[in-house]
Structure 1
Amino acid sequence: MIHSVLSGDLPRSRILSIVLLGILVCLALAPFLFPGVRTVDTAARICVFIVLVASYDLLLGYGGIVSFAHTMFFGIGAYGVALASTHMGRGFDAIAVGAVSGAMIAALLALVIGLFSLRVRAIFFAMITLAVASAVAVLVSQLSGLTGGEDGLTFKTPRALGPAFKFGKETFDGTLFGVKLNGKLLAYYFVFVGTLVLFLFMLRVVNSPFGRVLQAIRENDFRAESIGYRVVKYRVAATCLSAAIAALAGSLYAVWLRYVGPDTTLSMEIMIDILLMVVIGGMGTMYGAILGATLFVLAQNYLQTLMGAASGLVEGIPILPELLSADRWLLWLGVLFILSVYFFPTGIVGRLRNQG
């Protein structure tokens, strides 16, 4: 059963299996295991970034294609839901229309970019995607009448996904294990289930004949071309699929935040974060997206707090309080990244799989 659900791609490491199972349980039960606004928000962000990072790994790790436009596709999906909800009202139909429209526009844009630039060297494609992503980010910031400009868009989600919605009063007195049964809980599970479905779909794709051809092209595109595979066709298809899934991740993020802005979906900082998560987790492994996104989002949210506590514990010791100051959390995040690349050159998943 598990072998079938995972498309035959098992973790192949006892330690990795335990870690992945632990993350799955923690995310599935996050509102009950870690009650609190900040912790549940962190879990939701981990879910969204698992999909986003996995979709980018489909492009980079499996296809060997370097793109700097992934946040653009992410933003298109998010703005699709925001605009649909703004103009159609707070309903699940608006979310569906926005998500599908965003995914289709992202795939179409990826198709145009791919057809024009994937026939030449990979670096040219990377530069084209960077230019287009930058242009779209500027355009979104300037079209304030449509996109809200730098301020972004705040919109209403269906009442069932809002904190004011209550359920289970008759049976559970409005709570379950001390957790309020409201729309915010439903919104979290909306994101979690969406993440699970999209991740399992991508796992199926990379373990299909299409995914194996992609890996063959990544290893040696000339040999793949010589035995009859149309390299450009497969690369363009992978780019479109990756863009569409990134847009759906953006849709989930928009539903959770009920807000969309250039800084939350289109910034180059997010693109760099995605690259770091892929490298940390391990390129060419869908499971790497889970580990990379989990570790990175946790570090982003809690490293500063931990460093502040550590700085207080070493007061009176020369230099250490300054080095461990909460203001230097980005420095230590960079150090952790360098150490992870040094000790795990094939990513955490690659290292754990080699150990068995």
Structure 2
Amino acid sequence: MMQRLLSGDYPRSRALTVLLLIIGVSLALGPFLFPGVRAFSMLGMICVFIIVVASYDLMLGYTHIVSFAHTMFFGIGAYGVAMATDAFGSGYGALLIGIGGALLLSILLSLLLGLLSLRVKAIFFALVTLAVAFAFLSLVTQLYNLTGGEDGLAMRVPRELGPAFRPFDEPWVGFDVVGFFTGLFSDPAGAFQNALFDVRVSGKHLMYYVAFVSAVLVFLFLLRMVNSPFGRVLQAIRENEFRAQALGYRTVFYRTAVVIVSALLATLAGVLFALINRYVNPENTLNFELMVFILLMCVIGGMGTLYGAVVGTAVFLLAQNYLQDLLKLLAGGAEPGSLLEHLVGPDRWLLWFGLLFVLSVYFFPTGIVGQLRLWAARRRQRRAGAGRVADQGEQHHAS
């Protein structure tokens, strides 16, 4: 059952398996394990960007297509539902209209970009997609009457997906894992009791689990795709497109199909982002900085693995949201006026954020997932080599 679910593509590393289990359990039970609006919002963004990064990895890691228009499709999904609910109300009919329109526009634009890859390759295709993305961003900011310009649009969600919807009268019990381990040092006797908190289940929890289930289904779908004959052709194109053409594969069809699938999944992620965030503007959906962040998540996790999308997204967003708090804690423990206090000041979090990325690339040149798999493979080879030596020694002794 597990082999069919994961399409035979296992983590192939005990450390990676443990890491994925921690991330999976944290996301599945997150609203009941980590209290606070900030943690809840970050968990939702992890679910959304797992879809974004995994779909981008399908292009970059498996087919070697470098595109800078991925945020454009993400923004199309977000603006599609936001504009539809702004025009037709917050009902499910408006949502369907927005989702359908966004997917249709994404299909048309991705088809054009995919066919464009016939003419230009590698860095030239990346530059074309960059120009298209900037043109789309400029169009969104200028069409103020439709998109709200730089001010953006407030998302109107159905009542069942909003915080006002309370399906249960009694609150549910949550267990603050972080608070429990922190309390073990200050109050060991009352750590368990102090970690309990009430969870007022509302429509936003329903929306979160819609995003979580969508992320799981998209991940399993992509895992199935890259481990199918279709995926094998994609990897052949990545390694040597000329050889794949010589073997009779129509590489143009495969490259175009990958661009379309990736665009549709990014559009779906944009829809989920708008429903969770309930506010859309060019900065949080179409900004080029967001495209750089998606690329960093893909590289940190490990390109061409899909598991890297899960790990890279979780690590990146955790660092982005909590690195400043960690530096503030370290600065509070340093001597006032010392060099250490200036170095670990909260306002220097971007410096440490960049340093962490450099260190991750240095120690994990193939990404976290790729490096963990490589280390696990080396350990298996050493054990196999030691086993063969022992067998030879026993045979020699017996003779």
- TM-score, normalization by structure 2: 0.86
Q: Which residue number in structure 2 is paired with residue 338 of structure 1?
A: 358
Q: Do the aligned partners of 2:155 and 2:274 also contact (CA within 8 Å) in 1?
A: no
Q: Do the aligned partners of 1:166 and 1:174 also contact (CA within 8 Å) in 2?
A: no
Structure 1: which 5+ residue stretches go unaligned? none
Q: Which residue number in structure 2 is paired with residue 123 of structure 1?
A: 123
Query: Comparing 201-210 with 132-141, which one deviates more in the overlay?
Result: 201-210
Q: Which residue number in structure 2 is paired with residue 3 of structure 1?
A: 3
- Deviation, structure 1 residue 176: 4.2
Q: Which residue number in structure 2 is paired with residue 309 of structure 1?
A: 329
Q: Do the aligned partners of 2:113 and 2:259 also contact (CA within 8 Å) in 1?
A: no
Q: Which residue number in structure 1 is paired with residue 265 of structure 2?
A: 245
Structure 2: which 5+ residue stretches go unaligned? 175-197, 377-399
155, 172, 177: which one pairs with 1:175? 172
Separation in structure 2 between the aligned mates of residue 97 and residue 191 of structure 1, nearest angstrom: 19
Q: Which residue number in structure 1 is paired with residue 151 of structure 2?
A: 151
- Deviation, structure 1 residue 94: 2.5
Deviations 1:244-264 (A, max 9, x none): 100100000000011111001
Q: Which residue number in structure 2 is paired with residue 17 of structure 1?
A: 17
Structure (1 or 2) with the larger CA radius of gyration: 2
Match runs of 1:82-161 below 5 Å: 82-161=82-161
Separation in structure 2 between the aligned mates of residue 64 and residue 205 of structure 1, nearest angstrom: 16
283, 300, 314: which one pairs with 2:320? 300
Match runs of 1:316-355 below 5 Å: 316=336, 318-355=338-375
Q: Do the aligned partners of 1:103 and 1:245 also contact (CA within 8 Å) in 2?
A: no
Question: Matched residues, percent identical?
Answer: 58
Separation in structure 2 between the aligned mates of residue 281 and residue 47 of structure 1, nearest angstrom: 15
Q: Does 1:217 align with 2:237?
A: yes
Separation in structure 2 between the aligned mates of residue 308 and residue 95 of structure 1, nearest angstrom: 42
Amino acid at match of 1:301: N
Q: Which residue number in structure 1 is paired with residue 51 of structure 2?
A: 51
Query: Comparing 291-300 with 112-121, which one deviates more in the overlay?
Result: 112-121
- Deviation, structure 1 residue 155: 2.4
Q: Does 1:206 align with 2:203?
A: no
Separation in structure 1 between the aligned mates of residue 21 and residue 107 of structure 2, nearest angstrom: 32
Separation in structure 2 between the aligned mates of residue 97 and residue 338 of structure 1, nearest angstrom: 44
Name the SS of the counterpart of 1:160 in structure 2: helix
Q: Do the aligned partners of 2:327 and 2:346 also contact (CA within 8 Å) in 1?
A: yes
- Deviation, structure 1 residue 317: 6.8
Q: Which residue number in structure 2 is paired with residue 235 of structure 1?
A: 255
Amino acid at match of 2:266: A
Separation in structure 1 between the aligned mates of residue 44 and residue 270 of structure 2, nearest angstrom: 12
- Deviation, structure 1 residue 113: 1.7
Q: Do the aligned partners of 2:300 and 2:312 also contact (CA within 8 Å) in 1?
A: yes
Separation in structure 1 between the aligned mates of residue 200 and residue 118 of structure 2, nearest angstrom: 50
Name the SS of the counterpart of 1:53 in structure 2: helix
Q: Which residue number in structure 2 is paired with residue 291 of structure 1?
A: 311
Q: Which residue number in structure 2 is paired with residue 37 of structure 1?
A: 37
Separation in structure 2 between the aligned mates of residue 46 and residue 144 of structure 1, nearest angstrom: 30
Amino acid at match of 2:172: T
- Deviation, structure 1 residue 152: 0.4
Separation in structure 2 between the aligned mates of residue 201 and residue 257 of structure 1, nearest angstrom: 25
Amino acid at match of 2:273: Y
Separation in structure 2 between the aligned mates of residue 199 and residue 95 of structure 1, nearest angstrom: 23
Amino acid at match of 1:109: L
Name the SS of the counterpart of 1:301 in structure 2: helix
Deviations 1:115-172 (A, max 9, x none): 1234332111101000000000011001000000000000210100111111122xxx
Deviations 1:254-308 (A, max 9, x none): 0001111100100001000011001100000100000100000011111011111
Separation in structure 2 between the aligned mates of residue 118 and residue 129 of structure 1, nearest angstrom: 14
Query: Comparing 181-190 with 29-38, which one deviates more in the overlay?
Result: 181-190
Query: Comparing 91-100 with 190-199, which one deviates more in the overlay?
Result: 91-100
- Deviation, structure 1 residue 318: 2.9
Paired residues, what number? 353
- Deviation, structure 1 residue 182: 1.0
Separation in structure 2 between the aligned mates of residue 120 and residue 275 of structure 1, nearest angstrom: 21
Separation in structure 2 between the aligned mates of residue 293 and residue 155 of structure 1, nearest angstrom: 25
Amino acid at match of 1:283: M
Query: Comparing 71-80 with 91-100, which one deviates more in the overlay?
Result: 91-100
Separation in structure 2 between the aligned mates of residue 315 and residue 92 of structure 1, nearest angstrom: 57
Counterparts in 2 of 1:187 and 1:329: CA distance versus 1, 3 Å: same
Query: Comparing 302-311 with 82-91, which one deviates more in the overlay?
Result: 82-91
- Deviation, structure 1 residue 105: 1.3
Name the SS of the counterpart of 1:61 in structure 2: helix
Amino acid at match of 2:260: C
Deviations 1:212-245 (A, max 9, x none): 1000000000100000011111111101110110
Name the SS of the counterpart of 1:315 in structure 2: coil
- TM-score, normalization by structure 1: 0.97
